[in-house]
């Protein structure tokens, strides 16, 4: 009796498996009419920079699904292979090698951070596979002679500083005090602030630093105040940038306006700083302020579409970082569409990308410029009633 | 000039009071068990984050959130001793110290999973803007920090000097065998020390969260500075921890103000190294007693 029961059970199971296999292959049969186009991606989905990698991964997956729903790229389904580098340059290096050797992708997007990007520039360059980094450092793409295959979609610190100094000049600010965090982000920002200040006729009268986990910045701000600058610039990410706002307010320095780096461009910071943040000024990429843009702004349409579908799918607001993934993904897709999965042709196509309307600006790539953004792709934003407003 | 000086003093004392409270947490466990509990900084972090949970998510009034956060941290301290340290009781003190490092990594990782990586803030204990004294700004929260720190130091000193339980705890440290012979429940005293130090660390965490916010990885650096203060003042010395914490806070603040803010963290560590070279038992430690200790 028992064995008969087992037999029936096995038969049913077998039928189910057969049905599943049939169904599966049928499903595949429809999609696999043309061979899939591959895009490789490396993001810091976990580890220290997960704040960057997480929305990047989500954005890339969302775009893949959108493209495939529309029938792929000229009928070729889009296959996205994503690896997590855990914010570790060594693992990032291995992931890129794997994408090139094992997965044989014709184009790579990411990595998320400057550190991990710099660790893989050589790999992509040697294998002659185009790589579109989502990180900011200008070192990733310069000098172009030795970075033929490398592009980046994030603006450089020099753009942010340039935009900020332009605005300061229009406000007759000539003396500034700067305070920067002693990590890679702060050091790079400080370098650009100090380098570009003379070009814009701005004098740095105080230059203070602090650690990323400091709990109080009033000593630094007091020192800056005693140097009597026209404005204070703070350059950091994480809790210290909120701390700077709070301490600035507590010390009663309202008469010396506080400028922040683009790192402050997260609504979470406004929530944490509360009323203290009123009047803080910063340069921001347009992806963060889509709804404030005038309707005739060319980027308005793509930004609003991205904001809407991202919000619908993930129930969270878009971030600058997701915007980088959007830009790199669409640049890669545009190249695949135009020239097919040939690394060399893709490289040439990306290098000749002109007037590509993205989340972070209108890209104008050239053999001399593998970034394609400028300071005009940013907006000056001021905090007003706990929200962003365009600064006048 | 005078205003700036005053401002540096105020911010130095505020941050120094926090270092002192962390240092006291080290001292309590050290006094009873000779273990240096490197998870102390994580209790500060947990205190802050639990207070955020109770006040922000459960909408409890702030004083209740404070009490609950301290109580929860105390329970975690108890669990740490009961389930982890207690099980390795036969190991050497050095092994136990290494275990505390593992616990700190565990706590930090759990906090990251529980709260994510964003920083959180709490409303200040008393509303109102900063108090201006001769041009220098004092945040009301700074007064709370200094006041609570003073209260903790005074009550602990009294507890260990005057009460039977305090005396019994000290006896366990000096000679556990003899303490057991005269009828002191040594295990119980060790439990108590872990609860107390976790609770004090958590209290420090709650009171600084309104000023400096709190996120999962804040514990390590606070723990390190607090350990610096504990060693500087002499391990096991409560009054020493207070003075050393304040010295450390002021030194950092003056360095940031008059020298360069880049060297701020180095000052604390250089100060610590100098004391360890020149007066290894700490500023207020007893040389004779220090010789008898393993660490």
Q: What is the CATH number of the domain that holds A91?
A: 3.40.50.2300
Mean pLDDT, chain A, rounded, equals 90
Q: Is the pLDDT confidence value at A345 over 90?
A: yes
Question: Residue A129, Cα to own-chain centre: how many angstroms?
Answer: 21
Q: List residues bridging with A379 in a β-sheet.
A: A284
Same domain for A236 and A383, yes or no, is: yes
Coarse DSSP helix, strand, coil percentages of chain A, rounded to the nearest 5 percent: 50, 20, 30
- A365 domain-assigned: yes
Asked if B137 and A272 come within 8 Å (Cβ–Cβ), the reply is no
A251 and B7: CB-CB below 8 Å?
yes
For residue B125, the tally of other CB atoms under 10 A from its CB is 18
Tell me what the mean pLDDT of segment B11-21 comes to: 93
CATH architecture, range B7-118+126-292: Orthogonal Bundle (1.10)
pLDDT of residue A28: 47
Q: What is the mean pLDDT of residues A341-348?
A: 95
Is the complex ipTM higher than 0.95? no
- Asked if B139 is an interface residue toward chain A (Cβ–Cβ < 8 A), one would say yes
Measure the CA–CA gap between A34 and A193, rounded to whole angstroms.
51
Q: Does A332 lie in the same domain as A320?
A: yes
How does pLDDT run across B235-264, given as a tens digit for each residue? Answer: 888 888 999 999 999 999 998 888 877 788
Whether residue B213 and residue A239 make contact (CB cut-off 8 A), yes or no, is yes
CB pairs under 8 A between A and B: 87
| A277 and A322 co-located in one domain | no
Max CA separation in chain A (angstroms): 95
Q: Is the pLDDT of residue A6 over 90?
A: no
Residue A262 DSSP class: G
Pick from B15, B19, B256 the residue to mutate for testing the A interface (most A CBs within 10 Å): B256
Q: How far apart are CA B253 and CA B257, in angstroms?
A: 6
A357 forms beta bridges with A362
Question: Would you place residue A29 in the very low, low, confident or very high pLDDT band (cuts 50, 70, 90)?
Answer: very low
Contact criterion met (CB < 8 Å) for B139 and A250:
yes
Interface of B with A in 49-68 (CB under 8 A): none
Nearest CA distance, A237 vs chain B (angstrom): 11
Is residue A42 in some structural domain? yes
Residue recorded with tokens 């429940």 = B185
Same domain, A116 and A192: no
B209 in reach of chain A (CB within 8 A): no
Interface with B, mutate which of A54, A206, A216, A317 (most B CBs under 10 A): A216
Work out the average pLDDT over A149-154.
95
Write the pLDDT tens digit of every residue in A98-137.
999 999 999 999 999 988 999 999 999 999 999 999 998 8
Report the domain count for chain A.
Answer: 2
pLDDT of A21 above 60: no
- Given this model, what pLDDT does residue A45 score? 92
Closest CA relative to residue B222, chosen from B1, B47, B35: B47
CA A53 from chain center: how many Å? 9
| Chain B residues touching A211 at Cβ < 8 A | 221, 264-265
Rg of chain A on CA atoms, in Å: 24
Tell me: pLDDT of A287 over 90: yes
CA B199 to each of CA B148, B248, B256, B282: distance values in angstroms, whole numbers, following the listed order = 13, 23, 31, 25
pLDDT at A4: 58
> In terms of domains, do A41 and A138 share one?
yes
Same domain, yes or no, for A146 and A101?
A: yes
Clarify whether residues A383 and A256 are in a common domain. Answer: yes
pLDDT band at B295 (very low <50, low <70, confident <90, very high): low
CB contact under 8 A, A243 and B212: yes
Say yes or no: A272 and A344 in one domain. no
Q: Which of B137, B143, B268 to mutate to test the interface with A (most CBs of A within 10 A)?
A: B137
Nearest to A211 among B139, B211, B265 (CB): B265
What confidence score (pLDDT) does residue A197 get?
96
CB B261, CB A208: distance < 8 Å: yes
Say if A73 falls within a structural domain: yes
Residue A172: asked if its preceding bond is cis (omega within 30°), the reply is no
Q: Is A182 on the interface with B (CB under 8 A)?
A: yes
Could you tell me if residue A29 is inside a domain?
no
Give per-residue burial for A37-54: e unless 16+ CB within 10 Å, then b. bbbbbbbbbebebbbbbb
Chain A residue at shortest CA distance from B209? A215
Count of other CB atoms within 10 angstroms of residue B112: 14
Q: Name residue B214's beta-bridge partners.
A: B120
- Closest Cα to residue B121, out of A271, A358, A325? A271
Exposure string for A66-95, b = 16+ CB within 10 A, e = fewer: ebbeeebbeebbbbbbbbbbbbbbebbbbb
Q: Could you tell me the pLDDT band of residue B234, with boundaries at 50, 70 and 90?
A: confident
> Would A116 be classed as within a structural domain?
yes
SS3 assignment, position A27 = helix
Average of pLDDT values for A291-306? 94
pLDDT the model gives residue B290: 62
Which among B118, B129, B262 has the least Cβ separation from residue A182? B262
Residue A251 lies in a domain: yes
- A122 and A43 together in one domain: yes
Residue B216 sits at the chain A interface (C-beta within 8 Å): no
Write down the pLDDT at residue A23: 53
Which carries the bigger pLDDT value, residue B279 or residue A232?
A: A232
| A118 lies in the same domain as A68 | yes
Please tell me the predicted confidence (pLDDT) of residue B289: 63
Contact residues, chain A, for B12 at CB < 8 Å: 219
Q: Are residues A129 and A116 in the same domain?
A: yes
Residue A318 and residue A266 share a domain:
no
A239 to chain B, closest Cα gap in Å: 6
Query: Do the Cβ atoms of A81 and A67 come closer than 8 Å?
Result: no
User: Region B69-81: what's the mean pLDDT?
Assistant: 95
In this structure, the dihedral spanned by the alpha carbons of residues A290, A291, A295 and A299, taken in order and rounded to 10 degrees, is 10
Q: Report the distance separating Cα B32 and Cα B176, nearest Å.
A: 9
Residue B68, pLDDT > 50, answer: yes
> Is the residue at A235 inside a domain?
yes
Average pLDDT over residues B15-30: 93
Query: Does A243 reside within a domain?
Result: yes
Is the pLDDT at B139 greater than 90, yes or no?
Answer: no
Tens digits of residue pLDDT in A238-274: 889 999 999 999 888 989 999 999 989 888 889 888 8
Q: Which residues of A touch B15 (CB under 8 A)?
A: 215-216
Chain B within 8 Å of A11 (Cβ-Cβ)? Answer: no
Cis peptide before B232 (omega within 30 of 0): no
Q: Which domain, by its residues, includes A329? A: 37-155+300-374
Q: How far apart are CA A382 and CA A391, in angstroms?
A: 5
Q: How far apart are CA A259 and CA B276, in angstroms?
A: 43
Q: In what order do the strands lie in the sheet with A281-285?
A: A203-210, A175-181, A231-235, A258-260, A281-285, A378-384, A387-390
Mean pLDDT confidence for B31-60: 93
Mutation to test the B interface, candidates A51, A182, A222, most B Cβ within 10 Å: A222
What's the DSSP call for residue A48? T
Q: What is the pLDDT of residue B1?
A: 61
Evaluate whether B40 touches B201 at the Cβ level (below 8 Å).
Answer: yes
How confident is the model over A185-213, as pLDDT tens digits? Answer: 888 899 999 999 999 999 999 999 998 88
């Amino acid at each position: 009796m028992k064995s008969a029961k087992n037999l029936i059970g096995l038969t049913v199971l077998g039928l189910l498996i057969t049905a599943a296999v049939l169904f599966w292959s049928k499903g595949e049969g429809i999609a696999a009419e043309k061979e899939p186009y591959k895009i490789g991606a490396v993001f810091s989905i976990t580890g220290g920079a997960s704040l960057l990698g997480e929305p990047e991964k989500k954005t890339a997956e969302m775009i893949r699904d959108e493209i495939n729903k529309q029938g792929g790229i000229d009928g070729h389904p889009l296959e996205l292979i994503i690896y997590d580098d855990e914010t570790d340059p060594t693992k990032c290096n291995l992931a890129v090698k794997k994408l090139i050797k094992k997965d044989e992708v014709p184009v790579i997007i990411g990595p998320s951070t400057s550190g991990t990007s710099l660790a893989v520039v050589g790999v992509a360059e040697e294998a002659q596979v185009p790589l579109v980094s989502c990180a900011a450092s200008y070192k990733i793409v310069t000098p172009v002679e030795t970075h033929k295959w490398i592009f980046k979609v994030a603006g450089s610190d020099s753009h942010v500083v340039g935009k900020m100094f332009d605005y300061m000049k229009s406000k007759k600010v000539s003396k500034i005090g700067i305070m920067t965090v002693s990590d890679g982000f702060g050091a790079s920002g400080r370098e650009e602030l100090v380098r570009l200040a003379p070009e814009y006729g701005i004098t740095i009268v105080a230059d203070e630093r602090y650690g990323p986990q400091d709990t109080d910045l009033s000593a630094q701000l007091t020192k800056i105040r005693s140097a009597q600058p026209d404005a204070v610039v703070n350059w950091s990410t994480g809790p210290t940038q909120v701390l700077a706002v709070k301490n600035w307010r507590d010390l009663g320095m309202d008469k010396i306006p506080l400028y922040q780096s683009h790192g402050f461009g997260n609504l979470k910071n406004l929530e944490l700083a509360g009323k203290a943040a009123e009047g803080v000024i910063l340069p921001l990429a347009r992806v963060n302020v889509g709804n404030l843009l005038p309707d005739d702004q060319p980027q308005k349409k793509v930004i609003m579409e991205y904001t809407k579908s991202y919000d619908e799918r993930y129930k969270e607001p878009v971030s600058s970082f997701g915007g980088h993934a959007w830009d790199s993904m669409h640049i890669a897709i545009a190249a695949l569409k135009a020239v097919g999965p040939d690394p060399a042709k893709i490289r040439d196509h990306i290098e000749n990308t002109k007037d590509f309307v993205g989340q972070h600006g209108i890209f104008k790539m050239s053999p001399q410029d593998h970034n394609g953004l400028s300071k005009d792709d940013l907006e000056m934003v001021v905090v007003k009633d706990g929200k962003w407003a365009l600064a006048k | 000039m005078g205003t700036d000086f005053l401002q540096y003093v105020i911010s130095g004392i505020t941050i120094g009071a926090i270092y002192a409270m962390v240092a006291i947490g080290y001292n309590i466990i050290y006094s009873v068990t000779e273990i240096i509990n490197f998870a102390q900084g994580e209790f500060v972090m947990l205190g802050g984050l639990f207070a955020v949970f109770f006040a922000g998510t459960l909408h409890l009034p702030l004083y209740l959130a404070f009490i609950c956060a301290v109580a929860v941290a105390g329970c975690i301290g108890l669990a740490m001793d009961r389930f982890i340290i207690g099980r390795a009781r036969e190991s050497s003190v050095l092994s136990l110290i290494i275990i505390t490092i593992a616990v700190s990594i565990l706590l930090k990782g759990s906090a990251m999973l529980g709260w994510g990586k964003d920083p959180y803030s709490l409303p200040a204990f008393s509303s109102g803007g900063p108090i201006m004294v001769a041009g220098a700004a004092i945040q009301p929260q700074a007064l709370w920090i200094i006041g609570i720190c003073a209260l903790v130091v005074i009550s602990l000193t009294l507890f260990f000097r005057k009460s039977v339980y305090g005396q019994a705890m000290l006896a366990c440290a000096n000679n556990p065998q003899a303490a057991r012979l005269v009828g002191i429940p040594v295990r119980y005293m060790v439990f108590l020390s872990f609860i107390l130090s976790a609770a004090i660390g958590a209290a420090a965490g709650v009171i600084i969260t309104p000023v400096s916010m709190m996120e999962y990885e804040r514990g390590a650096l606070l723990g390190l500075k607090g350990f610096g203060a504990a060693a500087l003042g002499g391990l096991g010395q409560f009054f020493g921890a207070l003075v050393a914490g304040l010295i450390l806070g002021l030194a950092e603040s003056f360095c940031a103000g008059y020298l360069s803010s880049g060297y701020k963290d180095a000052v604390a560590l250089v100060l610590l190294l100098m004391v360890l070279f020149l007066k290894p038992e700490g500023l207020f430690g007893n040389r004779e007693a220090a010789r008898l200790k393993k660490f």
